[in-house]
């Protein structure tokens, strides 16, 4: 399956024109304006178009207002009204605001979501892309982050411009840029450390793709950490729903990390759930890929994040990593109160159960499809057998009929000769 083509908006419009005819962009703008109503620090600007793959997620440019004569205001707020005389727009830094509607795995109440999102906005970690401001209502969530001019890790690998349309950015296979092995190892370790931190705090991620990773000052940083709370579907869900062993939030993050690792190594995304063969790849990296997303590995228990982190692939550059980041990792923090932790845990369990139920349905459907194929095959065999018998019969019966016709002709000729002979005698 071509994941880029399948996820692009034109393809979705072709497959499901009724659903895609809903004016999601206008709905997004209405919700943003509603949440901006009583805020006074941000100025909503123009839309940047469909730069992502979600039909219900939209992006706009937004400017921050800074009080005259002072530094940039720390706490992010939103506004759609003209600025007052004591404020001016900050033109040094660009920001993007995104609106995301809640997805099918929304398991939390609106109040619980608001509380947890406030905590997420204060998260501090060297490998997590910070949130400038986040807010939600009964329909979805808006998030403001700094605009990264170089784009995501996927933009870097594809050599694309971040504000181009999704299919235009990633549909072209030319101009791909491979990562040096040291950078690949370093970014991979940073991604795993961020995932481990989130899980240690009880927050699943579940949305790892190269498009949700940004490289800033040599460090890979995860974005979209709010997606689990919003209940939206993962980009790789069509893949891991086919493998019943990938049935927990941690296993999802390990599985999708395997796909990200493959893409960093090859510069293109894997078009199927598992790898068949890895070529032109260092031995340790090949072993790590096979551990996570080889077909045989997916039939057994998937490795944990700790297991992956301890793999020998990371040992070569481990001293450099420890030297650069050991201090900042120790100072990482995010604060969830006890009720929030319990809510997240329950939401995670419900999400996992929905995944398991869907995996059972997929497995059952596969069996039905396989049975139908077998039945069709048997039916075809019977048809072929019947056709073969007909052919054989026609070959057998043809000469017999011919002989019968010859016999009848011979008898009639004989009778004719006898009558002629008798007549001649009478005459």
pLDDT, tens digit, 9 for 90 and up, residues 255-272: 999 999 999 999 999 989
DSSP collapsed to 3 states, the chain:
CCHHHHHCHHHHHHHCHHHHCCCHHHHHHHHHHHHHCCCCCEEEEEECCCCCCCCCEEEEEEEEEEECCCCCCCCCCCCCCCCCCCEEEEEEEEEEEEEEECCCCCCCCHHHHHHHHHHHCCCECCCECCCCEEEECCCEEEEEEECCCCCCHHHHHHCCCCCCCHHHHHCCCCCCCCCCHHHHHHHHHHHHHHHHHHHHCCCCCCCCCHHHEEEECCEEEECCCCHHHHCCCCCCHHHHCCCCCCCCHHHHHHHHHHHHHHHHHHCCCCCCCCECCCCCCCHHHHHHHHHHHEHHHHHCCCCCHHHHHCCHHHCCCHHHHHHHHHHHHHCCECCCCHHHHHHHHHHHHHHHHHHHHHHHHHHHHHHHHHHHHHHHHHHHHHHHHHHHHHHHHHHHHHHHHHHHHHHHHHHHHHHHHHHHHHHHHHC
Q: Domain residue spans in the chain?
A: 3-339+347-366
This prediction has a pTM of 0.80
83: pLDDT confidence band, cut at 50, 70 and 90? very low
CA–CA distance, 65 with 309 (Å, rounded to integer): 42
C-alpha distances (whole Å) from 273 to each of 31, 213, 286, 294 are 36, 20, 16, 9
411: pLDDT confidence band, cut at 50, 70 and 90? low
CA–CA distance, 168 with 361 (Å, rounded to integer): 34
pLDDT, tens digit, 9 for 90 and up, residues 308-336: 999 999 988 888 888 888 788 888 888 89
398: pLDDT confidence band, cut at 50, 70 and 90? low
Q: Is the pLDDT of residue 242 over 50?
A: yes
DSSP β-bridge partners for residue 135: 142
For domain 3-339+347-366, give the CATH number.
1.10.510.10
CA–CA distance, 236 with 259 (Å, rounded to integer): 9
Give me the mean pLDDT over the 209-234 stretch: 96
């Amino acid at each position: 399956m071509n994941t880029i083509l399948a996820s692009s908006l034109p393809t979705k419009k072709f497959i499901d024109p009724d659903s895609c005819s809903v004016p999601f962009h206008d709905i997004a703008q209405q919700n943003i304006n509603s949440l901006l109503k009583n805020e006074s620090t941000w100025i909503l600007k123009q839309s940047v178009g469909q730069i992502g793959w979600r039909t219900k997620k939209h992006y706009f440019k937004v400017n921050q207002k800074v009080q005259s004569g002072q530094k940039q205001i720390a706490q992010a707020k939103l506004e759609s009204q003209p600025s007052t005389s004591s404020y001016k727009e900050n033109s040094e830094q660009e920001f993007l605001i995104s609106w995301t509607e809640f997805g099918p795995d929304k398991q939390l109440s609106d109040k619980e979501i608001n509380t947890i999102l406030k905590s997420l906005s204060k998260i501090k970690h060297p490998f997590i892309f910070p949130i400038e401001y986040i807010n939600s209502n009964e329909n979805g969530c808006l998030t403001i982050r700094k605009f990264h001019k170089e784009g995501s890790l996927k933009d870097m690998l594809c050599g694309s411009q971040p504000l181009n349309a999704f299919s235009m950015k990633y549909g072209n296979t030319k101009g791909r840029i491979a990562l040096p092995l040291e950078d690949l190892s370093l970014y991979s370790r940073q991604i795993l450390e961020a995932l481990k931190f989130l899980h240690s705090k009880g927050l699943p991620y579940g949305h790892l793709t190269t498009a949700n990773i940004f490289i800033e000052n040599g460090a890979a940083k995860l974005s979209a950490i709010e997606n689990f709370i919003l209940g939206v579907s993962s980009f790789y869900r069509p893949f891991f729903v086919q493998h019943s062993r990938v049935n927990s939030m941690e296993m999802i993050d390990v599985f999708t990390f395997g796909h990200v690792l493959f893409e960093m190594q090859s510069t293109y995304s894997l078009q199927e759930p598992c790898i068949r063969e890895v070529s032109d790849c260092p031995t340790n990296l090949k072993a790590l890929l096979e551990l996570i997303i080889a077909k045989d590995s997916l039939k057994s228990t998937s490795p944990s994040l700790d297991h992956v982190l301890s793999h020998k692939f990371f040992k070569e550059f481990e001293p450099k990593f420890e030297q650069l980041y050991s201090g900042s990792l120790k100072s990482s923090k995010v604060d969830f109160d006890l009720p929030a932790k319990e809510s997240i845990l329950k939401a995670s369990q419900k999400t996992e159960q929905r995944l398991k139920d869907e995996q059972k349905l997929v497995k059952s459907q596969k069996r039905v499809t396989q049975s139908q194929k077998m039945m069709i095959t048997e039916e075809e065999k019977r048809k072929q057998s019947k056709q073969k018998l007909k052919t054989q019969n026609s070959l057998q019966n043809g000469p017999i009929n011919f002989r019968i016709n010859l016999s009848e002709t011979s008898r009639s000729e004989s009778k004719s000769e006898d009558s002629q002979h008798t007549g001649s005698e009478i005459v």
